Structure 1
Amino acid sequence: MKKLRFEQLAERHPIDPAQLQGYANAAKVRLEAHHRPPVNFEVSTKGETTLFQVAWQPIEDMQRRSYNNQDDAVRDGAYVMAFAAVEEVEGLVAIGRAETKTGADYYVAPLGTAPEDFEEALRLEVSGTDGGTAATCRARLKQKQEQTRQGSGSEPALAAVVGFKQRLILVERA
């Protein structure tokens, strides 16, 4: 089974390693709210679903306290889980944060693209959820696709929704 590697993304994604580690810590806190490692996650894109094993180092009490705000931890943890998923299913890595009102959170580009080269970049809108069902995730994906279409960015876009409790990541073109 393939592994969804959301830790140590700085080895492949040219984003600040400290920020990526913070996102990974948030993801671990939200994952451990529902699961014990390892767990299987479904990643769905283009009508196909692939099963990935998600493993992580257990969190410590300090991390739990540091990422105690559930809303922030879901948002931040979803970023790193989405980055790992789009790397696996689309061959894309995060290269930079998107400006406000572009309809996205980050820019992603093919692995190996120079980080300052936005010519091949796509916008990536990310959302996370900590409850509900798979249907809740699919409804949120439609909202995020629409949000991306309404944004000021002209680059093609992807939307991703991470369901921590549901063990589901949805990635689709907007």
Structure 2
Amino acid sequence: MENIEEIELVKLGKGLPAITLSFGATLAEACAICLEERGHSQGVEISIYGDFKATFKLYWQTITDQMLRCWNDREYTTEQAAYGIAFILVRNLTDFTVIERSRKGTGFDYWLGVEGEANELPFQNKVRLEVSGIREGDDRRVKSRVKQKVEQTKASDGTFPAYIVVVEFSKPLSFMVRK
């Protein structure tokens, strides 16, 4: 039997190079809301497909009534939760981490880089990250979203590769592709 790595989503609250402690904690809350709303229990397995293959067990903080009232916008909550899952997957499956938020209109959400690596040239050895979340959808919808996001990143194609991460919360699963 294979040993499946455990991920504590609350650790997002420790921050990342481009994610403050408070924003990381916010993403962890969104993840907890999406997973519990879909009826998942602590330790639910998330399967990763696409150019990466993996399975992780997810753990999150206890949901409160205040959190439910705060995260009442399902679309926004799903988007934020997808960011949280994507950031963890990137850190666990690649040598990269989130180093800077992208600006609107670029066709992607964040810049990835190697943590602690000081490059003399800005954005040398960097990767674009585009993320999308689906609260509940079948394989066809997930694959369609991946295709849509690959197309969206064409606006910034050129020197830098891109990772596209689509997170689906009802199974849960994620497609993670490199472009």
User: Structures share a fold, TM > 0.5?
Assistant: yes
- 8 Å CA contact retained: 1:133, 1:166: no
Pair 1:23–1:153, CA change in 2 (3 A)? farther
1:131 pairs, out of 132, 136, 140, with: 136
What is the aligned partner in structure 2 of residue 76 from structure 1?
Answer: 80
What is the aligned partner in structure 2 of residue 88 from structure 1?
Answer: 92
User: How far apart in 2 are the matches of 1:78 and 1:66?
Assistant: 17
User: How far apart in 1 are the matches of 2:82 and 2:12?
Assistant: 14
Q: Shift of the alpha carbon at 1:56?
A: 1.0
Q: Does 1:51 align with 2:52?
A: no
2:162 pairs, out of 144, 153, 157, with: 157
User: How far apart in 2 are the matches of 1:98 and 1:153?
Assistant: 16
SS of aligned partner of 1:111: coil
SS of aligned partner of 2:150: helix
Aligned length: 173
The within-5 A match list for 1:136-147 is: 136-147=141-152
Q: Does 1:13 align with 2:13?
A: no
2:35 pairs, out of 31, 40, 55, with: 31
User: How far apart in 2 are the matches of 1:12 and 1:22?
Assistant: 11
Q: Shift of the alpha carbon at 1:4?
A: 3.1
Deviation per CA, 1:70-127: give whole Å up to 9, x if none.
0000001100100001111112111111011111111111233359953222110000
Pair 1:2–1:107, CA change in 2 (3 A)? same
Taking only the aligned residue pairs, the percentage that are identical comes to 31
Instruction: State the one-letter code of the partner of 2:108.
Output: A
User: How far apart in 2 are the matches of 1:169 and 1:138?
Assistant: 10
Instruction: State the one-letter code of the partner of 2:92.
Output: E
CA RMSD, 1 decimal: 2.1
Instruction: State the one-letter code of the partner of 2:65.
Output: D
- 8 Å CA contact retained: 2:13, 2:23: no
Q: Does 1:101 align with 2:105?
A: yes
- Between 110-119 and 84-93, report the one with greater CA deviation: 110-119
User: How far apart in 1 are the matches of 2:96 and 2:50?
Assistant: 14
Pair 1:125–1:56, CA change in 2 (3 A)? same
* Structure with greater Cα Rg: 2
Unaligned runs of 5+ in 2: none
User: How far apart in 1 are the matches of 2:65 and 2:118?
Assistant: 38
User: How far apart in 1 are the matches of 2:27 and 2:142?
Assistant: 20
